[in-house]
Chains A and B, each alone.
Chain A
Amino acid sequence: AQSVTQLGSHVSVSEGALVLLRCNYSSSVPPYLFWYVQYPNQGLQLLLKYTSAATLVKGINGFEAEFKKSETSFHLTKPSAHMSDAAEYFCAVSHNSGGSNYKLTFGKGTLLTVNP
């Protein structure tokens, strides 16, 4: 069985401040890890994914995440928050990066608000 836990259902930062969204995973096999963003009334958009090629993964919109096996973590960061980053963020885990078994298990999400 696999699962993810997102610490903090709501994170609030000031514009220009560091964004840190936490995700810990549980998996009995080497995991594939993902971060998705969901803007109001929209579907999920992939920010980045880890597939064992490199532990530091760079994504879109200036976000990056670091896979730490010893800590079973995959935290999402951005050096400087922008107002447009306000959204809900989901961490997800999969056994496969693709193929017929491509099934994601999501965390409960973290709502990011950015204050001017």
Chain B
Amino acid sequence: DAGVTQSPTHLIKTRGQQVTLRCSPKSGHDTVSWYQQALGQGPQFIFQYYEEEERQRGNFPDRFSGHQFPNYSSELNVNALLLGDSALYLCASSEQGASDEKLFFGSGTQLSVL
């Protein structure tokens, strides 16, 4: 059973560019959350998708947007990249309403903005 998979693993972009990160949730999971982990910091919640809608959002600007597809996979898009967007982006999946709901994290996409 594959866990949460993210692609690509590493990415280098320049300021002002746009980037798309992808996530496939663990089998049986229908909810996807995205977190940003800057160097030396804990992960910060960006947003959560369920039933193809954004359900919750953290304190991130509109440059950060997302999408969830009917197969529950998800994309994170960041427009007009800034140097400060350099971070590890983590995707986490869970199953809504499970008796012991847990978040499962992927290994992340390391984004470097030059």
Contacts and interface: CB of A to CB of B under 8 A. Distances in A.
Interface residues of A, number: 23
Interface residues of B, number: 29
A42 to B, nearest CB: 5
Given A43-B90, A108-B40, A100 B55 contact: yes
Given A43-B107, A46-B103, 4 more contacts: A42-B107, A44-B43, A90-B42, A98-B94
B5 to A, nearest CB: 10
Contacts of A49: 102
Given A43-B105, A43-B106, A97-B101, A102 B31 contact: yes
A107 interface: yes
A106 B42 contact: yes
Contact of B97 (A98, A104, A107, A109): A98
Interface string A33-61: 00010000111111001000000000000
B107 A102 contact: no
A108 B40 CA distance: 7
Interface string B35-66: 10000111111001010000110100000000
B97 A44 contact: no
Question: Which label, helix, strand, loop or mixed, suits the secondary structure of the A interface?
Answer: loop
A99 B42 contact: no
Given A103-B56, A108-B42, A109-B42, A45 B33 contact: no
A99 to B, nearest CB: 7
Contacts of B92: 43-44
A104 B96 contact: no
B78 interface: no
Nearest to A97: B101
Nearest to A43: B105
A100 B96 contact: yes
